[in-house]
Chain A
Amino acid sequence: MDRIEKVVMATAVVLLLIFFGAIVVAATNYGVDLPTCVTDRKPFTEGSAPFKLSDQPLRYEAHTVARMWMFDPPEITIPPGAELDLYLSSADVVHGFYVEGTNINLMAVPGAVTYQRVKLDREGTYRILCHEYCGTAHHLMAGTIVVSSQAVEEQ
């Protein structure tokens, strides 16, 4: 190996380390991280609409069950800026839970619960798609997240 090749290799290593560093920064400084592993929740088969955990800060918790071929509940309504502890469980096969245009991208795997803390600042209706093949009607499995300040009091 000559000097040029060593420089090339070092350059490649530096490039990859920069990428890796940027990812760590995204997690530590910007709170952009992967869904963490929760082991204190048993898989559940009934979903629940968001319920309030606290006012200051505004926090909710919701349980979603993915099953062939629907989400239970099909609609999740939260106020903008609220922190939502989202628990996701599958009642049958593997499903996906992807909220279009956001970083909410989860897998529902039978045997365990997926958890992510979610926060949506912009009001509007977001599409939830099942994005893992789950059988014949997979392409019809969808739901919505409604972010609306009016919806707060109903809960």
Chain B
Amino acid sequence: MSNQVLEERFVPKGAIAFFAALVVFYAMLWFTMYAELLGRR
């Protein structure tokens, strides 16, 4: 694959997947803590 071709059609699919995974992971951890907070009432 030449650089030229890549330059034209680089779509960061991997980075999108990574970001989506990151958001899900963050939400999971945050709501775990949220449950802890409400559980301590």
Q: So, do A and B actually touch in the complex, CB under 8 Å?
A: yes
A interface with B by C-beta (< 8 Å): 4, 8, 11-12, 15, 18-19, 22, 26, 30-32, 101-103
Q: Which of B11, B23, B37, B40 contacts A4 (CB 8 A)?
A: B11
Whether a CB of chain A sits under 8 angstroms from the CB of B16 is yes
Task: Report whether A32 and B41 are in contact in the complex, using a CB–CB cutoff of 8 Å.
Answer: yes
Task: Report whether A30 and B27 are in contact in the complex, using a CB–CB cutoff of 8 Å.
Answer: no
List 19 A–B pairs whose Cβ atoms lie within 8 Å, in order of A's numbering: A4-B11, A4-B16, A8-B16, A8-B19, A11-B23, A12-B23, A15-B23, A15-B27, A18-B27, A22-B31, A22-B34, A26-B34, A26-B37, A30-B38, A30-B41, A32-B41, A101-B40, A103-B37, A103-B40
Main secondary structure of the interface of B (DSSP, over half): helix
Those 10 A-B pairs whose CB atoms lie nearest each other, nearest first? A103-B40, A15-B23, A102-B40, A30-B38, A8-B19, A22-B34, A19-B30, A32-B37, A11-B23, A32-B41
What total of A-B pairs shows CB separation below 8 Å? Answer: 29
A101 surroundings in chain B (CB, below 8 A): 40
The residue in chain A whose Cβ has the minimal distance to the Cβ of B20 is A11
Task: Report whether B38 and A26 are in contact in the complex, using a CB–CB cutoff of 8 Å.
Answer: yes
